[in-house]
Each structure stands twice: as structure tokens, then as C-alpha cells.
Structure 1
Amino acid sequence: MFYLFTRRAYFAAKSNFTNRPAGLTRYLRLSASGDGIHSGHAINRDNWLSEALASARTPDILIFVHGYNTSQSSLLLRHAMLQQKLAQNGFKGTIVSFDWPSDGSNLSYLADRNEAKAVANALLTDGILMFLAQAPKHRVHILAHSMGTYLTLRALSAGGRWAVEQVIFTAADVDSDWMKSGAWGSLVMQHRCKQFTNFHNTRDEVLILSKNMFNRGAARAGLDGLPGQIPKSYRDVYCTEQYKTRVAAPTMIRSHNWYFEDVGFYRDLALTLAGTAADQMPTRVATNTGGQALYA
């Protein structure tokens, strides 16, 4: 069973969700058949919450936030992979995904970024804060990928006194300078989570394009890593050697999405969600710059 909350508009005539934004959040309960086709329907929020929490064997909730150029069908495949691989590595919590109206096209970068900013409050109020309020004894974690990290950072920047446990960024399409000590993004993370982990790959061709075509050469956290001194609760994990070793047939898209294919990444992710201290991670080694590298 898959649990999503979505801000995609629903097209009743064709019984599907579109790439246009909706004015309300719908809570979906879906199941997959053997041929990969998903079926299910929207249910009311309270029932959805109750069922999602009941599916967990530990009080852990992982909210996954996808990136740009992601259709709903692609999200469902990734959600299924996350559930399977994390379970194989000992994660017993529940996984829910926030589905936002990414256009599913390489040509829609700027439009997707505007949509991400517009729906950030929905991720916060209809997901993060709902879980914190309705399941106060649970540990809430966030895993975000690509432009989903920008959406997440915007959501976490809202006011109030609250925090989640782990925030994990993969292939983060946010300015590295936002995350340096004292900058706004860094201050957000210090207030909103107990630990922040950033996985980056210097051969991420999608982020190279993002950096040079759409962001005026500004370093990307998922490409260039975090800059300078970082707070003690941050971990910047270099993944380039793991990518070079594990991905036999690299492509532009795989250089950006390969984390979700890599058994070592899932092992590291499960340990991170379990609260393993960074210096005790068997999946990492020290780098010559004082950081850590994925080695699993």
C-alpha cells in the first residue's frame, strides 16, 4: 500500500492527476498490481493518517519529496523502490510521499521551481505539521531530491516553534551559499531538524546544467557540496567515487538519480534514519578535507 498527499489537479473526465496545481491537498491510498498499474482513491485526511501510522512497526515517518521533471507515475515507482530497499535494510517506519505538480519535462525547469515555491506551504501544513501535531510520539524525517530540496527548504523556513528529526538532501538543487554557516538556509536547518545530511556528486550532469543555464553559475549543494565551515549537526557526504564505481553505464539522468539505484546509499539512509552517529557509520570513510564520503 502506498500513501501520498498530492497538490496535483485531478481531471475527472480522464480519472487522472495532471501536472497543473490544485487548490487543495488530496490524500491518496494506492496499491500496485503485478503489471505496475496503480489503483486506489482519495480518502479523508483522518483515515489516511490513521492508516499510514498503522502501517509502521516503529514510530518513524519518512516524508519523501520528489524533484522536478517527475511525473506521478515516476514518483510511484520511486516510492515503491524506497519502501522495498529501506525495509531490506531494517527500516520499519512508514513512508509517505508529497506529490507536487512537476511538469515531467526537461524544458520546464523555471515553471517547476515556481510551482515548488507555491506548494511549499502545503507540504508544511498538510504534511509536516499535521504529523507533528497528530502523532507527537513519532519521529518525523524528510528525504528530498533535486528541486524537492528547494521546496523543502522553503517549507521549513516558515515560522513557529517545531522541528523534525532527520532532513536528508540528495542531488540538492539549492544554492550552496544558502547553506553556509550564518546564511538563511543554514539557520533554517539548525532550527528545524536535529541532523541535516547532504549527499553530493560532483559528476551530476543535471546539476551542472542547472548551475550554468538557470542559476548563473551559483554552486549547487548536490553538486559542489556545502561550503566552508558547517554546523556540528550537518554532514556533507561526498558520493562521486561511489557513483563512478557503482554506475556502469552513466547517463545524464542517472548521474542525478543514481542514489535510488544504489544499495550502499539505501544502507546509509537506513542507518541515518535510525539515528546512527555520523562518526559511527560503517558506510562512510573520512575524506582528506575533513568530511565524509559514501563507501558502501
Structure 2
Amino acid sequence: MAFDYIITARKLASGQFTAEPGPLKFIKVPRNAVIYDETHVIARTAWVEEVVALADGDDNPLSISPLGDLLFYVHGYNNTIEAVLARQRTLSANMRAELWRGLVVSFDWPSNNQLLGYFEDRDDGAEVAHLLVETCLDIVVTQQRRKCVTNIHMIGHSAGAYVITKAFEFAHNKGKYFKSDWRLGQVAFISGDVSRNSFFGTDQWVEVMNKRVMRFTNYFNPFDAALAVSNAKRLGVSPRAGRRGLPDNLGDKIVDVNCGDYFQTLKPDPKEWMGSWSHSWYFQSRVFARDLSMTLEGAIDRDFIPTRELRDDKLHLRDAPRPKYIEEWGVNDAAKRTTDSGRTV
């Protein structure tokens, strides 16, 4: 039987998980289950061992990771447990179909399924961000101290991007993480509900990201209606990175990918989408999954990933296949030969 893995910061009450913050629990849920509950809780040690083993158990010949790839997915506001599981599974299936062989796991933070709870959810997101540090980053630090070469990544959707930014700020201020020698592979935002102004280099999370992350990719859609609402609630003074994109000249580690032209070619299917189509279409798109897969694998320079077109020094998402002979390049073999003390060179 196949399983999905989640770290949840939801409060457990009467055997069910709620939309309020609570102590962390580690979840292993059968893939055919619609929700998870108390019966799916397992010990942290067992959870980490199983997740790392699964991530490392299927070598990807296209990845620069000597062993495996692990992607932490952090969802946005107003997500039910059902939606979190559905999106995790859809993203994982699409990436698998696009030849990525890593493991997608979720960090499920409590978020009310009502629009009026939006600002309350952002407060909850800030509250649980330190839990993201205490779990995900602690797993990273512990595994890398053990010379584990699993490549660990994060992706944040909507307000999940906000949770990740707050987590990086906590990491900057918390002694054992600030002083430890740890790194992440890739961090990506999709429909990021964070201010584009926060990328001007003054925020602590940007400083930590530049120090600890191999590359950051911001996927944005100028036609994102949900982020238009988010911007309006702030009286338009703080454009969202997931709708407007990033400022120019942010350095080599930060990549902006405009998905607007490609998005306009998509016909919404009400049976397939989850939530606002313009805000959540990424989960259903094989083209996006292909681009994200090649991004996480790290074998191709950011400007030359085939699913991107460079126009006027800006990258635009497009529908294009992988390089025809990429599986014969020996990418993973080269990565395994160029390791030093358990760390990729």
C-alpha cells in the first residue's frame, strides 16, 4: 500500500485535526484516504526514516543530487485537510509523470476554510512558522550532520510563501540554526502572497535565503485574481510577488518566471481545479510540473530550461519538452563522483 507523509501543526481534538494551531504531529496516511486523523499519527523518528528512505530509494538519472530529492510543500490560506492532500498528490503525480523521482511531503498549517478568516490565517501562519523551523530545518540540519546527501527543497503556495518567509526569519534569529552549517537545495514560490518589496534585500529572510539556498524561483501570474483581492485588502500599497513578479537586479540566486502568457492558453476545467483557477492552476499543469522538476534537478542553467523563453531579459513559461538526449548525459553519475564528505560540490 502506498502512503503520503505530512507534518501537521493543526490541533488534535477528539481524534480529528482542526483549523487551530497545535503541537506537531507526524502523519503517514494511505493514498486512498481522503483525510488524515489521529489513527495516522506515527513517531517522528519513524516518519523521518521512512521519508528519507523513500526519497533516496529511487535514483534520478537527471538530478544533481547524489541520492534523492525531498520537496516540502507548504500550502496557502483557507485549505482544508482534503485540499492539502489532493494538491500534494496531484503535484507529486504530475512531477512523477515528468520524470522527477523525488518525494513530495506537506507541512500542513491550520487555515480556516472561510474567506473572512484570511487575516486570522496569516497570524496563524506566523505562529506556526517557528514550527516549520523546528521540524523541517531541524531535519535538514540533523541529516546533513550525518553526511546525508538527500537534496531537500521547499515550495510555498499563496500564503504558504508567507509562512516560509517567516520561517527563514526565525532561522536567522535562532542560535542553533543561525550558527549551523546547513543549506537547502531549491526554494520556489507559486502565487506567492508576499510583498514584492520584501525582495529588496532588507528583510532577514532574504539574507538567510541568499546564504542558505542554492536558488530561489518565483513563479508569478499577472492574471491571478485571488492575489488581486489580497492586494486590494492592503489598499494596493504592497503588490504581491505572485502577481507582479520581483524587482530587477536581485542577484544570481533569485529567478523570476512569468507564467502569464502560458496561463492564457489554458481552458479551465471545473472538474479538475481546486480553488481559484487563476491562483491554483499550477497544481494541474504538466508544463509547470516539468519546469519545476528540471528546476529541482539542477542540471540545466536557469536561463536555458526548455520550458522557459527568454524575452527582453525576462523568463516566460512555455510548453516545451525536455532535451531529447538528457537521460544519456550522465548527470547523476557525475554528481555521485563529485561529492566531498557527504556534500555536493
TM-score (norm 2): 0.80
Q: Distance in 1 between matches of 2:73 and 2:92?
A: 11
Larger Rg: 2
Letter in 1 for 2:249: Q
Question: Residue 266 in 1 paired to residue 289 in 2?
Answer: yes
Offset of residue 126 of structure 1? 1.1
Specify the code of the residue in structure 2 equivalent to 1:152.
I
Q: Partners of 2:54 and 2:303 in 1: how far apart?
A: 31
**1:100-111 pair list within 5 angstroms:** 100-111=109-120
2:50 equivalent to 1:51? yes
Amino acid at match of 1:177: N
Tell me how far 1:37 sits from its aligned partner: 5.8
1:113-170 Cα distance to aligned partner (Å, 9 max, x none)? 0000000011111122213313532111001100000100111122314321100000
Q: Secondary structure, in 3 states, of the residue corresponding to 1:245?
A: coil
- Which of residues 287, 292, 295 in structure 1 aligns to 2:311? 287
> RCO (CA 8 Å, sep 6+): is it higher in 1 or 2?
2
Query: Does the aligned pair in 2 maintain the 1:67–1:145 contact within 8 Å?
Result: yes
Residue 156 of structure 1 pairs with residue 168 of structure 2: yes
Residue aligned with 1:140, SS: strand
Q: 1-side partners of 2:235 and 2:162: how far apart?
A: 13
- The correspondence for 1:206, drawn from 226, 232, 235, is 226
CA distance in 2, matches of 1:215, 1:118: 25
Q: Match of 1:74, as an amino acid?
A: A
Contact kept, 8 Å, 2:95 with 2:286, in 1: the verdict is no
CA distance in 1, matches of 2:186, 2:134: 18
Which of 241, 248, 257 is the equivalent residue of 1:237? 257
User: Would the aligned equivalents of 1:29 and 1:43 in 2 still touch at CA under 8 Å?
Assistant: yes
2:163 aligned with 1:143: no
The answer on 1:197 being equivalent to 2:217 is yes
Unaligned runs of 5+ in 2: 60-67, 173-177, 320-345
Classify the secondary structure of the residue corresponding to 1:3.
strand
Mapped contact 2:78–2:111 kept (Cα < 8 A): yes
What SS does the corresponding residue of 1:107 show, helix, strand or coil?
helix
CA distance in 2, matches of 1:146, 1:183: 19
Give the distance between the partners of 2:203 and 2:164, measured in 1 at CA.
16
Change in CA separation of 1:131 and 1:188 when aligned onto 2, cut-off 3 Å? closer
- C-alpha distance after superposition, 1:259-284 (max 9, x if no partner): 11111100001000101311220000
- Identical-pair percentage: 31
Long gaps (5+) in structure 1: none
Q: CA separation in 2, counterparts of 1:106 and 1:262?
A: 25
Give the alignment's Cα RMSD to 1 decimal: 1.9
Work out whether residues 187 and 215 of structure 2, in 8 Å CA contact, stay in contact via their aligned partners in 1. yes
Q: CA deviation at 1:182?
A: 4.9
**How many pairs does the alignment contain?**
291
Specify the code of the residue in structure 1 equivalent to 2:93: Q
CA drift at 1:89:
1.2
SS in 2 for 1:30: strand
Q: Does 258-267 or 53-62 show the bigger shift?
A: 53-62
